Structures are given as structure tokens and as C-alpha cells.
Amino acid sequence: MRRFHSPTRRAVLAGGASALFVPAIARAQPMRMQVSFDDQRVTYQLFDNPTVRDLMSMLPLELEITDFSTNEKIVHLPRRLDEGGFESFSDETPGDLCYFLGWGNLALFHDDYTFRDDLIRLGHIEGGVEPLLHKGTYPVRIEMT
């Protein structure tokens, strides 16, 4: 005995099946974040992890960016982020964007640094680090691009 299905049922099943793939396709698109301060602008390509997704849910943000130590700028966030993105790494490079668990701030590295178990890497800069060398404390806008 042969079963016949109405086109409506097929359409519903096909639509439901394709909906399962939409989130995967959306995740396949690179996530980017722009940081703008004092006529300087940098864009980061972000990784896909729970910490990044939590940060993206907060954007846009208007905060303050300041120099810290000799190798980074920092931005204090209004709240702590999900720490589920932690993963050890050994290929630290200038241009990395990290989340510092100790203070709950973003660390925008413009020079060499060493992995610590209280850093979650969020992404890497597109282009050079030169805008991050602009010294001082400034209002900053962080937004998705």
C-alpha cells in the first residue's frame, strides 16, 4: 500500500528540517565587534563561545577605555560575563582580545603577553594594533559590525 502525503505536510516537514540548519549557518558567519575611541577604530573577529555570545548580547556599550601596564588597553564591563568560553591556549599574539576573569574586564592586547588561567580569549584584531597605541583614557563605543 502506497502512502500519499499532502504538499502541506511535506512543506511543514521540509521547513522544520531546514530550521535546524539556520542556527548553524548563522554561526558560520564571522562575528565582528568594533571598538571606537578618540577617532581611533579597531575591529575584532570574534570566536564562537559562550563568553563571546554573552558579550555580544550586551552590545552596544558606551564605557571607558584606558591603558593598563605596557601592553594592553582595558575596558571595565557593567557586569561579569559567562565564563564558559575558557580554553587554554599557547599562541598568544598582539591583537588578541581577552576577558580577564579577575576584574571582569576586556583586555585589548597591543603587545606581547603570556597566557594565564584567568584569561578567556574572545577574538583577534583585523588589521594592525596601531590604534591601540594611542595613549590615554577615553570614552569608548563597542558595537557589533
Q: How confident is the model over 2-45, as pLDDT tens digits?
A: 554 444 555 444 444 444 444 444 456 789 999 999 999 999 99
Report the pLDDT value the prediction gives residue 21, as an integer from 0 to 100: 45
47-77: pLDDT as tens digits: 999 999 999 999 999 999 999 999 999 999 9
> Which pLDDT value is given to residue 28?
64
pTM beyond 0.75: yes
Instruction: Report the residue count for the chain.
Output: 145
Considering the four listed CATH numbers 3.40.50.1860, 3.30.830.10, 2.40.100.20, 3.40.50.1010, the one that applies to the domain covering 29-144 is 2.40.100.20
63, three cell numbers? 564605557
* Ranges of H-type helices in the chain: 7-28, 50-58
Do 59 and 145 form a contact (C-beta atoms < 8 A)? no
